[in-house]
Amino acid sequence: MTRDQRKKMLILMINMFIAIGSFGIIIPILPAYLKSIGEGGTAAGLMIAIFAGAQLVVSPIAGKWTDQYGRRKMIISGLSGLALSMFVFYFSDSIIVLYISRVIGGIGAALLVPAIFAYVADITTMDQRAKGNSYISAAMSLGIVIGPGVGGFLADFGLKVPLLVSAIVGVVAVIFSTFVLKESMGTDSYVPEDDSEPMIKKLGQSFTKPYFIPLVIILVMSFGLMAYESVLGLFVDNQFGATPKDIAIMVTATGIVSVIVQLFAVDRLVGRFGEAAVLTIFLGVAAGGFLLSLVAPTYEMFFVVTTIIFLSTSILRPVLTTLISKLAGNEQGFAMGMNNAYMSIGNILGPLLAGLLYDIHITYPFILGLIVLVITMGVSIAWKGKSNKLATIKQG
């Protein structure tokens, strides 16, 4: 990358780091916080599902707006929504108001994420795309590394202190972006489409896109992964007596692994094996991790299993994003919006069912995640085989 590309990439990484870090701050305190207001697994699942539901509704529109109005405006708007959601979260102990805060946060994420990945597509070549996306994913992982560690420390000063700090950090991100971020979209980047179409029809348009199968894989993978992540803190608290600091250490350590892998391994793996092969391999690794989580007898063993799962997802996410971006051509905003939308569908169903199943038996969410990841791996293998067959026919 050129010096100018590296500078812009750094700004995007800082934006993503601040946004994700401000949310990561609250991760260690969620189990104790929900207990303090008399809530459990169902509420934990609903909080994530509602956030993802708002993303789902807004993402198709946000993707179009990213192409129409520019990446910069959407990034700043998204960061503002995330900051506002944290302030609402901090100033209320009502579960209904907390759900409302999750709606606001979901809208903010829907505006932010496709705009950042579309920005990456603007400033990178096709060959640089995987590396650029892995850098953004690394910034997300670094936010999860730093955020929970800070949250576990701040919880000693009061259970709600991490929420206030998260909101303030979000405001810092908005100010930073307003003064530093420049627009990346060229005059030929936007392909006009009818914004009056309903969301269902926009989702229907994705069925005919060349990146439809990777979108389906994102949906099913997200379903399984969020079923795991949504009850992770509750599980280790219930099963092993983990404290907010224990949860913070687990999330921080697995996040460090994710950052290292995304910075130094993803680009090399894709260059050697190709996106489709890497996708299939690490879906299998993630499924194996889910299987091991069912039999892990101690906190330490569960820690190792969680690291394996997070390592796999740290590779899968940028690889899928890169596949979609390469196949999207001149409609990067719409494609990234669909990426977000399909991920949101999985993020809605996974936590919702996981929360309900957790309240029945604490191992059921992990069994659910294992099943859907195995299905995802099957879809990936079938798609890879079909793609190879079409390539052979074209060459012939």
Assess if residue 35 is contained within a domain: yes
Q: Are residues 154 and 219 in the same domain?
A: no
pLDDT, residue 46, reads: 81
Residues 150 and 6 both lie in one domain: yes
Q: Are residues 340 and 285 in the same domain?
A: yes
Residue-level pLDDT at 388: 59
**Both ends of the chain: CA-CA distance in Å?**
36
- Cβ atoms of residues 259 and 142 within 8 Å: yes
Closest of 274, 222, 280, 249 to residue 51, by C-alpha: 222
Say which DSSP state 362 is in: T
Helical spans, DSSP H, in 230-331: 232-240, 244-264, 266-273, 275-293, 299-328
Does residue 109 sit in the same domain as residue 204? no
Instruction: Tell me which residue of 208, 209, 227 sits closest to 219, measured CA to CA.
Output: 227
For the chain, list residues with pLDDT below 50. 187-196, 390-396
Burial of 301 (0-12, 13-18, 19+ CB in 10 A): middle
In a domain, 190, yes or no: no
Residue 188 covered by a domain: no
Tens-digit pLDDT profile for residues 75-126: 999 999 989 998 998 888 888 988 899 899 889 988 888 888 888 888 888 7
CA distance 337 to 117: 10
The verdict on 140 and 44 lying in the same domain is yes
Q: Which pLDDT value is given to residue 292?
A: 92
Query: What is the pLDDT, as a whole number, of residue 80?
Result: 93
* Domain shared by 166 and 204, yes or no: no
The verdict on 164 and 299 lying in the same domain is: no
The CATH code of the domain that includes 288 is 1.20.1250.20
Within this chain, do residues 134 and 220 fall inside the same structural domain, yes or no? no
Closest CA relative to residue 299, chosen from 357, 351, 355, 238: 238
Neighbour tally for 219: CB within 10 Å? 21
The predicted pLDDT at position 55 comes to: 77
Tell me whether residue 259 is in a domain: yes
The parent domain of residue 372 ranges over 197-395
Residue 34 domain flag: yes
Residue 387 confidence (pLDDT): 62
Task: For residues 177 and 203, state if they share a domain.
Answer: no
Tens digits of per-residue pLDDT, 120-175?
A: 888 888 777 777 877 887 787 677 667 777 777 787 788 888 888 888 888 988 89
d(CA 275, CA 279): 6
Residue 243 falls inside a structural domain: yes
Say if 221 falls within a structural domain: yes
Domain boundary among 182, 211, 239: 182
Q: Which amino acid is at 378?
A: G
Query: Which of 182, 216, 241 represents a domain boundary (last residue)?
Result: 182
Of all residues in the chain, what percent carry a pLDDT higher than 70?
91
Q: Please check whether residues 250 and 128 belong to one and the same domain.
A: no
Whether residues 150 and 229 fall in one domain: no
Among 388, 15, 383, which residue's Cα sits nearest to residue 217?
Answer: 383
Give the chain's domain count: 2
Model confidence, pTM? 0.65
Q: What is the pLDDT of residue 176?
A: 84
Tell whether 133 and 19 lie within a shared domain: yes
Last residue of one domain, picked from the residues 134, 157, 182:
182
Closest CA to 71 of 129, 130, 112, 131: 112
80 part of a folded domain: yes
Residue 197 pLDDT:
60
What the block records as the tokens of 258 is: 């994710």
